[in-house]
Structures are given as C-alpha cells and as structure tokens.
Amino acid sequence: MKTLELLSIRSLSRMVGISLYTAANWIEDFDVYIPKTEERDATYYYPDAVDVLKRIKKWKAKNYENAQIKIMLANYALPTNQNHAMKETQTTLDHGNDKENMLTIMQTIGKTVSNVTNQEKIIHELQEQQRKQLKRIKKLEKQVEDINELKQEIATLKRELASNNYETSKASFARLFH
C-alpha cells in the first residue's frame, strides 16, 4: 500500500473533527476496530478509520459508554486490523521472497491471535457488566416492591387512624351531651 493512501493521526483527527488528544484516546480505547499499519517505524491509518472514528464520535455525542460502543462496532461490519493484515500478507505473498513471506504470515497470525484475545477480554468485561446490571435491576425491583408494600401499609394505617379519630371524636361528643 502506498503511504499516500494512508493517514497520519493528525490528518485523521482533522477529518473527523476531533482533537489530536481525543483521536489518540479513541484509537487506544478502540484499537481493534481502527484499521492501521506500520511503515518505517510510524503508524498510519487506512481511510476506513475515518468512518470508524466518525461513528464513535456520533455515539459519544449520544453519551454511550465505551463498552456499548465496542458492542456496536463489533456488530457493525468494519474492516478490522486483521483484514488489512491479511491483505498485506496476500500482497507480500504475490511478490515472492519466501523468508519474508513466512515472517509476514507469522506476524499476521500473532496479531490475529492477539486481537482475538483482546476481543475475548472485551466480551468477558461486557458479560461482567451485564451481570452486575442485572443484579442492580433485581435489587431495584425488590426495592420498588418494598416501597409499594410500605405505601399499602401507610394507606391502611391512615384509614385506621382516621377511623379511630372519628370514633374518638364521636365518643367525646357523646360525653359532652350526656
């Protein structure tokens, strides 16, 4: 791939309309979903990264949390780093040089395994968050149930109190006039 087709993080941040600092944070947080490559000891981003960051920007504006955004990105058919790595591998294979080809394949496999591991960690974290949220929901449902029971008890006590006050007032009046 020609370097001219690739974007620097500065260009990427300008195209998306976010600060360089925000772009760096999002690239770190959503690394698996940001298509990139390294050339001459520098990281460059594929044009697809603009679309990914624009989606993240839109979801961030709607106050979605990172875990939710990762789920949405996983469900959105994005070209991930693995896909670009596979394209690079195929290009290298097409040009010969067996030792270099084998090294590229091994690096691609390593990156893919690393990305799968990261995906598994993300899934585990999301499942843990979901479990905690379900616990909170159950706790809140129990609290609502308790509140409703207390409301019923208060209403019953008010009726009894009103009834007792009526009877007390009735008895007081009866004594006054006897």
Residue 147: how many other CB atoms lie within 10 Å: 10
Please indicate whether residue 45 or residue 86 has the higher confidence score (pLDDT): 45
Least confident of 30-34, 104-108, 151-155, 156-160: 104-108
DSSP 55-107: HHHHHHHTT--HHHHHHHHHHS----HHHHHHHHHHHHHHT--HHHHHHHHHH
pTM over 0.75: no
Q: Which residues contact 35 (CB under 8 A, 6 or more apart)?
A: 45, 46, 48, 49, 52, 78, 79, 80, 81, 83, 84
Q: Tell me how far apart the alpha carbons of residues 44 and 8 are, in angstroms, rounded to a whole number.
A: 5
Q: How far apart are CA 46 and CA 7, in angstroms?
A: 6
Confidence of residue 80 (pLDDT cuts 50, 70, 90): very low
Average pLDDT value for the chain: 81
For residue 136, what pLDDT band results from cuts at 50, 70 and 90? very high
Contacts of 3 (CB under 8 A, 6+ apart): 39, 44
